[in-house]
Structure 1
Amino acid sequence: MKHIIPILALMLFFSCQNTAQTKQEQKAVINAAPIEVPIKNGKARAYFASGCFWCVEAIYESVKGVDESISGYSGGYTKNPTYGSSNTGRTGHAEAVEIIYDPKIVSFETLVDVYFASQNVTQMNGQGNDRGSQYRSIIFYQNDIQKQIILKKKAALAKSLGVKIAAEVYPFQKFWIAEDYHQDYEKLHPNHPYIQNVSIPRLNRFKAKFPKEFLKEEAH
């Protein structure tokens, strides 16, 4: 996790032994019609859950055309989730990011490629030692075009690797912004042990394999 606590204790505390993902309220979220966020001042928004948002924020902000990555919660059925409540695994929400980007510079398709290239695509309910439904992988779509892009890329990846891809595909409903202290965490706390040992290595692994023409030269 993000604090210096024995991994075994974390696994016990953040156990997935809850019924959040099987509740009728959660099924209603998964089966709902997607909500489309309008383009504002030429900027579009996309939403992804891929483990710890401290990691994901920095990854997307290294991509050309991405103005900002905001940490928050999405995919669940409870209102006003907090870091504490989402970490129980009982809200249905996952740690997620809102990506504010210029669609004239970077496409939604490329953002999906970034998503798959920056994670362990086979790990269920987590990334690395961050485990639990609150860390599960979800790609959110806002319309049928986005849904088809996601499903085609997910199927192609599964075929090429010969594995089951863990990412779930949800209709976007609402994004809840996380507490202020979570925002720009990697930039503001570069020497934090989690940032040094988890976030930065994950960012560097992504940058090493993603096409350089899509990455900002000055980023991190």
Structure 2
Amino acid sequence: MKKYIKLFSLSLLAIVITACSSNGQSNSNKTQKDLKMNLTPAKGEAVAAFASGCFWCTEHIFEAVVGVKDVISGYAGGTTLNPTYDLVNTETTGHAETVLVYYDPQIISYAELVKVFFASHDPTTKDQQGPDRGSSYRSILFYNTEAEKEVAMNEIKAISASNRFKNPLVTQLKKLDAFYEAEEYHQDYINGGKGSMNPYIKNVSIPRYEKFKAEYKGKLKKGS
């Protein structure tokens, strides 16, 4: 994951375009061994993973969906073992910023979560979401089973055959082999209030979330 902060002065106003994090904190106290998540969900739960740009934004979006119980920000899709924030910043690990979504399959299906995924980002921009650029911001639709893979492929085919997007999809379809939890300060960054003073949240994350809310046809939690 890269970290950019570009400030442009215009009179007394600053227009900020940043990538996902302007937070100067280093790794949390956890060892990286602790950060590899167990992908076996608790009884009555299911788990899915999605990469669609900055995980601050993606986490905020999935947390708002009815049936989602918890969302963890982290890294997946690469080959480097035990990736850290600093390593992912180099764009050499192969990992993308990803969220792990725990949900109740009796309330919401994997197929509906795939719809949330496509409704909440631009799947036609290679290695980029808005001002965030680099392979760690690429669009990846992860699956755990062959049944989920078929659901994902069918949605990709349906969207590709429609006129929904002007450009072709560049979303990757990958088996979820491992997920590494991001450092603690990334977790619940928007809903937890950690990013309340971050210009990126105001100028990028919140507009992206509001656009999703306006366009998504599914159920959102009250107050979201």
Please tell me the TM-score bracket, short chain as reference: 0.7 to 0.9
Aligned positions of 1:75-90 closer than 5 A = 75-90=77-92
Match of 1:25 in 2: none
SS at match of 1:186: coil
User: Given residue 108 of structure 1, which amino acid in structure 2 is its aligned partner?
Assistant: Y
Q: Work out the CA distance in 1 between the residues paired with 2:70 and 2:196.
A: 18
Match of 2:202 in 1: 196
2:108 to 106, 123, 148: 106
SS at match of 1:185: coil
The alpha carbon displacement at 1:43 in A equals 1.2
The alpha carbon displacement at 1:3 in A equals 5.1
Match of 1:149 in 2: 151
The alpha carbon displacement at 1:217 in A equals 1.7
The alpha carbon displacement at 1:192 in A equals 1.3
Percent same amino acid at aligned positions? 45
1:184 to 167, 184, 188: 188
Preserved CA contact (<8 Å) 1:3 1:194: no
In the TM superposition, structure 1's runs of 4+ consecutive aligned residues that sit over 3 Å from their partners are: 36-39
User: Given residue 56 of structure 2, which amino acid in structure 1 is its aligned partner?
Assistant: W
SS at match of 1:96: strand
* Structure 2 unaligned spans of 5+: 9-17, 20-37
Aligned positions of 1:162-181 closer than 5 A = 163-181=167-185
Preserved CA contact (<8 Å) 2:53 2:137: yes
The alpha carbon displacement at 1:67 in A equals 1.1
SS at match of 1:139: strand
Preserved CA contact (<8 Å) 2:3 2:89: no
The structure whose residues are more often helix, as a share, is 1
The alpha carbon displacement at 1:6 in A equals 5.7
Cα deviation per residue 1:99-135 (whole Å; 9 max; x = unaligned)?
Answer: 0111111100000000000011211112011011011
The alpha carbon displacement at 1:40 in A equals 1.0
The alpha carbon displacement at 1:5 in A equals 3.0
Q: Work out the CA distance in 2 between the residues paired with 1:71 and 1:168.
A: 19
* Structure 1 unaligned spans of 5+: 12-35
User: Given residue 160 of structure 2, which amino acid in structure 1 is its aligned partner?
Assistant: A
Match of 1:217 in 2: 222
2:214 to 205, 208, 215: 208
User: Given residue 144 of structure 1, which amino acid in structure 2 is its aligned partner?
Assistant: E
TM-score (norm 2): 0.81
User: Given residue 190 of structure 1, which amino acid in structure 2 is its aligned partner?
Assistant: S
Cα deviation per residue 1:65-115 (whole Å; 9 max; x = unaligned)?
Answer: 111111000000011101111111100100000001111111000000000
The structure whose residues are more often strand, as a share, is 2
